[in-house]
Every structure is written in C-alpha cells, then in structure tokens.
Amino acid sequence: MDLALFDLDNTLISGDSDFEWAQFLIAKGVLDRDLYEARNIEFYEQYKAGTLNIDAFLDFQLRPLAHHPRRVLDAWRDEFFAQRIRPLINAKARTLVDSHRQRGDLCALVTATNSFVTAPVARDLAIAHLIATIPAHEQGEFTGCVRGIPSFREGKIQRVEAWLEAIGLWWGSFARTWFYSDSQNDLPLLSRVSNPVAVDPDATLRAHAEALGWPVTSLLA
C-alpha cells in the first residue's frame, strides 16, 4: 500500500477555496465589502508570495464563523460548494484521485483551508481522510479560533504524522509516498515524501521542482 496526499487549492480545484469563501460571504452581504474584500485579496497575495502570517489570516477567516448559528453556516456552505467550488473540480483531478484509490493507496486531502469549508470537497472526491486546519467549536457552534496546529507549511507534516500515528502507521509503513501540490508553501511536505509532484506550480515551486528533477504536471482542463 502506498500513501497519496493531495493539496486542494489550485491543485485539485482550479481556484482557492479560502479566498472564494470570503468572496462568497461578501457577495451575500454577510461580510462588509469595504472592510473585508481588500484584506481578503491582500492575504491571498501574501499566500502566493510565501509570506502569509497564518495566525493573522486565521483570525480574519475564522472569526466570522462565530457570528452566525451553525445551521445557517451549514446552509451557506452547501450553497457555496455547489455554486463556487464544485465547478472548479475538473475531470483530470477526479481521474488522478481515482487512480490512487483504485490502486488501493491510502488517500488524504491535506489543506491549509479549514475543515468546515473543505469537508464537502473531500466527500465529493471520495477522499476518506481530510487533514485541514480545524476551527474550534463549543457545543457545535464555532468560537472563531483555531484548534491545534494549523495545516500549513511545516504544520502539514506534523498533522500528517499525527494522523498516521493515530491509525497505527508511519512514513515507513509505505513503499511510496506521494504529495501533489501547486504551492511553494508546501515545499516542506513535498520534500518529505518519496514522490513529490508539482501540479500547475507557482514560479518558486516550478524552479525547485526542475532543479531537483521532480515531475511537473497539470490538472487544468
């Protein structure tokens, strides 16, 4: 059995779910456009540049969850997934995931985006395991804070290793380990697996992949 790990944003989907979630709430009038849109764009540009302060971003992204009942948020999320995210999952991404699952590989979606937003994507792609940033909650209602280690940069390695340990496995349990990602922010985890794959990579990751002879591929339709 091999291990196949997949990044989400700009890898399995042709867009960024974190960015799109905030834009969706702005479009619905849930978030004030004048207050939130410029900051959302700024955080996204920082992420792409590899300079994102994850704590500041999570405060921005998770705090609005605390202002609305969970049943309302769940309905918004279902609408968001159907309108904004499902159309961004193309056939090549589905084929890639299916190929690993049919081989019997252990598959996990490993994303910095929070689990509330990304759980429907994992279900839609039939990926059984989701390793994502966890929004804290009390009695089902979100607090606006993060729980545990964010699934970001080196945090992805820590979260993957904790997950493997919880199911009685470790890196050495697999003949081959795969990770597919587009982003320089994922260089720590890409460097940890035996088979890193750069998917429609940013310039920094492309240069790194080419220098080390990593495969570079595209999942764009």
Q: Does residue 221 carry a pLDDT above 80?
A: no
Number of CB atoms found within 10 A of residue 190's CB: 26
Active site residue 9: yes
Band (pLDDT 50/70/90 cuts) for residue 40 is very high
Least Cα distance to 174 among 160, 188, 185, 186 occurs for: 160
- Rounded Cα distance between 87 and 17, Å, is 12
pLDDT at 218: 97
**DSSP letter assigned to residue 214:** -
In this structure, what token pair is assigned to residue 50? 């590899």
Render pLDDT for 94-113 as a digit per residue (tens, 0 to 9): 999 999 999 999 999 999 99
Predicted structure pTM score: 0.96
Which pLDDT belongs to residue 5?
98
The number of domains in the chain is 1
Give 59-73 pLDDT, tens digit per residue: 999 999 999 999 999
Q: Average model confidence (pLDDT) for the chain?
A: 96
The residue segments making up the domain with residue 26 are: 3-217
Amino acid at 181: S
How many CB atoms lie under 10 A from the CB of residue 53? 11
Q: Which position among 2, 9, 124, 202 bears the catalytic label?
A: 9
pLDDT of the residue at 44: 96
Average the pLDDT over 130-143 and give the result: 96
- In this structure, the number of other CB atoms found within 10 A of the CB of residue 54 comes to 20
**Least confident span in 32-36, 105-109, 148-152:** 32-36
CATH number at residue 10: 3.40.50.1000
Copy the structure tokens of residue 99: 């190929």
Residue 65 and residue 72: Cα distance in Å, rounded? 10
Point out the catalytic residue in the list 2, 7, 74, 78. Answer: 7
On whether the CB atoms of residues 155 and 113 are closer than 8 A, the answer is: no
pLDDT band at 79 (very low <50, low <70, confident <90, very high): very high
Give catalytic status of residue 7 as yes or no: yes
Concatenating the DSSP letter of every residue in 181-206 gives E--GGGHHHHHHSSEEEEES--HHHH
